Structure 1
């Protein structure tokens, strides 16, 4: 399997932990090759996913990042656009995407959920198998 990972670096410590758990899970799957594309933040994830889906023909994609609620409406906007964009990429390209973008209230919640990178990786693998993708 060829898995492309898009990693939003806005909260770099959280993102790195998500990536670590994702890569660990993929090593457990076996014959998996990965490439990692880093983007500034969650809003850039859908564009990078679609670009990689069209350019590299991966077996599956994984989106990793974190959006933490602040004092403004910006949190809802970023979280919603990112989630909708991830879904749109899957539907338009037929390439499954494991969604490991955390949407949390604070840094404590983000730290507690960094293992979700593994969940996103395994979801991408399962969807690729369901779709019969090599």
Structure 2
């Protein structure tokens, strides 16, 4: 709610947005608990939720599912897909090839700071859900 208020939402709309995000990230039941008492996965989800109070046109997600259980990971994927469907551009960094394959229109493979391959998952030879990348 604090972030929503800082970003110009009314009290009522801020409460609604916070409730929507807590629900979307499976945190509604923990809404009255202090964040410092959340598990690591819950903290990760609240971080992502807080960054989405205002849906930006461009969002950078740096390994957003690291440390999440498979259910939470899939839930974050659904939210990212929804953002893209609403017109947002998402720049995602990940070490999980299946995540890139599931979410990305284009993939760049970086090795020691250099792009060594770039293209669609099909062009790069990725096979979902778990694939091995071969240049």
Output the TM-score relative to the length of structure 2. 0.32
Which is bigger in relative contact order (C-alpha 8 A, separation at least 6)? 1
Look at both structures and tell me which one has the larger radius of gyration over its CA atoms: 2
Output the TM-score relative to the length of structure 1. 0.32
Higher strand share: 1
Higher helix share: 1
